Chain A
Amino acid sequence: EAGVTQFPSHSVIEKGQTVTLRCDPISGHDNLYWYRRVMGKEIKFLLHFVKESKQDESGMPNNRFLAERTGGTYSTLKVQPAELEDSGVYFCASSQTSGSLEQFFGPGTRLTVL
């Protein structure tokens, strides 16, 4: 069974540009989560989808970040326009149910904004 996959693995962009990150959860997992880790800091929650609906987006830093999960399958996280402080590793995770304590994480996308 394939795990959570993320694309791209690395992205280097200039300040002001747009970047879109993609996450494919484990097949059949209704819950999808986005997290971010700024270098040397904690992994921070961004938002949680249940199927195609946003269950909790309390961790989204500002309106430059837009997450979608059309059809309840894969998800995209768009940053527009990117700022220097957006640099970090963006992790995606999925779980079968909302009450499941175990989330399965992808390898992350390392975003560098110059």
Chain B
Amino acid sequence: AQSVTQPDIHITVSEGASLELRCNYSYGATPYLFWYVQSPGQGLQLLLKYFSGDTLVQGIKGFEAEFKRSQSSFNLRKPSVHWSDAAEYFCAVVPLSGGSYIPTFGRGTSLIVHP
């Protein structure tokens, strides 16, 4: 069965510092890959997605993620964090085949931003 691992439950950074959130997946073939963000009181918002092609994908709010097939990873990055980035971040995968487009989520990483 496929699984998604987000090893960091909480991450604390200072405003203006760089950020990297880790995501590893376990699946037989390269799936579709997603990062979502949930701000307090809001629904999950799609930050970015990877289907194929360029392994560095750009998303909204200045985020990017890099797909590394050899490491089965899809880490999320941002060069300079803003206080408004404080939220919970979820990595998710969707299988390429099988006809089901139901995502498997990681358990989330809570980002705390210090002023």
Contacts and interface: CB of A to CB of B under 8 A. Distances in A.
Interface string B29-43: 000100010000111
Contacts of B92: 43
Question: For chain B, which range describes its interface: under 10, 10 to 19, 20 to 34, or 35 or more residues?
Answer: 20 to 34
Interface stretch (A11-19, A72-80, A98-106): A98-106
Interface residues of A, number: 25
A3 to B, nearest CB: 7
A104 B44 CA distance: 7
Closest 3 CB pairs of A and B: A105-B44, A105-B43, A43-B105
17 contacts: A3-B43, A9-B41, A33-B102, A40-B107, A42-B4, A42-B105, A43-B44, A43-B105, A45-B103, A48-B102, A101-B32, A101-B101, A102-B46, A106-B43, A107-B41, A107-B42, A107-B43
Given A42-B105, A91-B43, A105-B43, 19 more contacts: A42-B4, A42-B107, A43-B90, A43-B92, A45-B102, A45-B103, A56-B100, A91-B44, A93-B44, A98-B101, A99-B101, A100-B101, A101-B94, A101-B101, A102-B49, A104-B43, A105-B36, A107-B41, A108-B43
